[in-house]
Amino acid sequence: MEYLVLARKFRPQTFEDVAGQEHVVKTLRNAIGQGRVAHAFLFSGPRGVGKTSVARILAKSLNCEKGPTATPCNVCSNCREITKGSSLDVREIDGASNRGIDEIRELRENVKFAPAAAKYKIYIIDEVHMLTQPAFNALLKTLEEPPAHVIFIFATTENHKVPATILSRCQCYDFRRISLAEIAANLGRVAVAEGIQISPAALLWIAEAGDGSMRDAQSIFDQVISYAGMNISDTDVEEILGLVDRKYLFSLSAAVLQRNAGKCLIILEEAYLAGIDMKHFYQMMLKHFRNLLLVKIAADGSSSFDIAPEQIQKLKDQVQKISRETLQRYLEILIKEEDSFRRSQEARMKLETVIVGLAYLEPIIPLGEIISTIESIEQKLRQGLPVAANIGPQLSTNKQVKEMPADYGAEINIADEKNNGGNLLNQDKPTGDLATLGDNLKKFIKKESAILGAKIDSAEILSYENGLLTLGFPRGYLFLENISEKSQKEQLQQISGSFFQENVTLKIQINETQKVNASNNNGRSKANNINDIKREAMNHPLLQKVLDEFSGARLVEIKPRIDKSR
């Protein structure tokens, strides 16, 4: 007896045997049980996922001597003939070789005749998209209103090439790629039935090589058996599938993530001398970096991406200290260079160029981490602590200090603060005489709000007791009315509370003993005039816009312009 390949020997014979197409199987079983079988079906999907097998099972279900039934017996003459492909009432037609209008005309003539032995005459047309446009047109009328004893089942891998007029006359079923776990489970049952010794990991490798196609995976399994016999080791599978390439992939990605360009070149040299095709290796590398990104993003849910379980932990170990942004950037570069790499005459040299570029790429620091680090530095500057103590592994102290907004450097001298005890406040809560307390409070407010700090520059602390802070301002002070507004007062209370480390109630009053900083003026009216000019300048929309746009900007001094021509 001639040898049957595994894909034929273990072809599904009932709906229960079909793997990975539960949505199709359930619908067809229900349709048969309810007597709602359509006159035309279109099965579409990737190769090797069960389209023709389901078409045959459906034909057996309809023509079984015990049927129509959702579970054909597979022992009656009709079932056996359909399984062997010798039934007179179930014809399988190759659309690629019978694509002309003459063949369709012949089919139209034959559908008039009743079935020879079964209940239905069933036409299974594989790769139906290969029919010519005139052939499709000739089929339209018959497909729309066929005789009651005729059922059409079309199968195609490219349903977008089937005319819409044909699709509208069929029930359309989309077949999916079969998952890695389902293919591996099927191969395991085949191995048990055939008495083959093989590890679960090797079965997963074969299933992965099938790329979602059960038939492809079974064909590869056949090839592995021919190579290694009935006792298959992992090494045998690695050799025949070329999985030795994987060790170079993990080594290369590790070198890239470590930014070791020299090691990258050495690994590529070893892969080249091992006989690995560079263009094929590039495609594998694309998929490998995709897997790295998926594992980084999905974490524990990465098993749903059809990645072999033994690879997932290796991938997780590699990306543990790498940011998602960096991995995404690597993958974007590889995708961008794919087209030029494919057209390159020097594949090895091009690959080396791309990999060295990846290795020298600066890691991308997440924006949230940058903001968090800046906030940490800001907090340390407020407290007078050394900023080098803990600013994150990726950012240098010098770089961060240089990038801080200008107002920090202007208001705080870290060296001076260290000499004064390392803290503006010197203790847990600020203490000292009112003059020193006032100076420190003004500095703190200026750091928190440069605008508000400028407005209270002339204030004096008259008293601070039991959370009540009394600020005195000279009569006629420029910003007195503005500071007395509710919103400004609340903001000042909040900042003062942070300074004193407790809730603060603010009281503003006129300090009769204090004079406006206009002692050199030539009279009260002139001082008031200058104050009016300053108030107008302070409330000018353009100045407010500048202060809002630049967080580090602060108002230092307002000078009236005397020369109008300037």
Pick the CATH number of 434-549 from 1.10.8.60, 3.55.50.30, 3.30.300.180, 2.30.22.10: 3.30.300.180
Q: pLDDT tens for residues 322-359?
A: 888 889 999 999 999 988 888 888 889 999 999 999 99
Report the predicted TM-score, pTM, of the whole model to 2 decimal places.
0.59
List of E strands, 45-114: 90-94
Q: Of 213, 345, 224, which is closest to residue 279 (Cα–Cα)?
A: 345
The SS3 assignment for 523 reads coil
What is the strand order of the sheet 150-156 is part of?
90-94, 121-126, 150-156, 40-44, 171-174
Residues 6+ positions from 415 with CB-CB distance below 8 Å? none
Rounded to whole angstroms, what are the CA distances from 298 to 3, 288, 324, 481, 516?
A: 45, 15, 11, 57, 64
Q: pLDDT tens for residues 235-263?
A: 888 888 877 777 888 899 999 999 999 99
Q: Extract the tokens encoding 341.
A: 């790499």
One-letter amino acid of 451: I
Q: pLDDT tens for residues 463-514?
A: 888 888 888 888 777 677 777 888 888 888 888 888 888 888 888 888 766 6
Phi, psi of 44 (to 5 degrees): -130, 150
Confidence of residue 267 (pLDDT cuts 50, 70, 90): very high
Rounded to whole angstroms, what are the CA distances from 102 to 105, 111, 129?
A: 5, 15, 17
Place of tokens 């001597």: 65
Least confident range from 381-385, 398-402, 532-536: namely 398-402
Q: Where are the alpha helices (DSSP H) in 427-562?
A: 434-448, 450-455, 480-483, 486-500, 524-538, 541-549
Q: Of 474, 469, 477, which is closest to residue 495 (Cα–Cα)?
A: 469
> What H or E segment, with its residue span, contains residue 124?
strand 121-126
The residues spanned by each domain of the chain are 6-174, 180-241, 245-359, 367-419, 434-549
Please check whether residue 307 is in contact with residue 184, taking contact to mean a CB–CB distance below 8 angstroms. no
Please check whether residue 87 is in contact with residue 57, taking contact to mean a CB–CB distance below 8 angstroms. no
Mean pLDDT of the chain: 80
127: left (phi over 0), alpha (psi -120 to 50) or beta: left
> Which pLDDT does position 421 carry in this prediction?
37
CATH fold, domain 245-359, is Zinc Finger, Delta Prime; domain 3 (1.20.272)
The SS3 assignment for 432 reads coil
Answer yes or no: is pLDDT of 298 > 50.
Answer: yes
One-letter amino acid of 536: E
Q: pLDDT tens for residues 60-83?
A: 999 999 878 999 999 999 999 999
More confident: 60 or 538? 60
Least confident range from 42-46, 210-214, 272-276, 375-379: namely 375-379
CATH for the stretch 6-174: 3.40.50.300
Least confident range from 182-186, 319-323, 374-378: namely 374-378
Helix, strand and coil content of the chain, in percent to the nearest 5, comes to 55, 10, 35
Burial string for 515-548 (b: 16+ CB within 10 Å, else e) reads ebebeeeeeeeebeebbeebeebbeeeeeeeebe
**420 CB neighbour count, 10 Å cutoff:** 12
Q: pLDDT tens for residues 89-144?
A: 999 999 888 888 888 888 988 898 889 888 999 999 999 999 999 999 989 988 88
Least confident range from 25-39, 207-221, 371-385, 546-560: namely 546-560
Residues 6+ positions from 527 with CB-CB distance below 8 Å? 476, 516, 518, 521
The interaxial angle of helices 200-209 and 234-241, nearest 10 deg, is 10
Structurally, at CATH architecture level, domain 180-241 sits in Orthogonal Bundle (1.10)
> Which pLDDT does position 415 carry in this prediction?
36
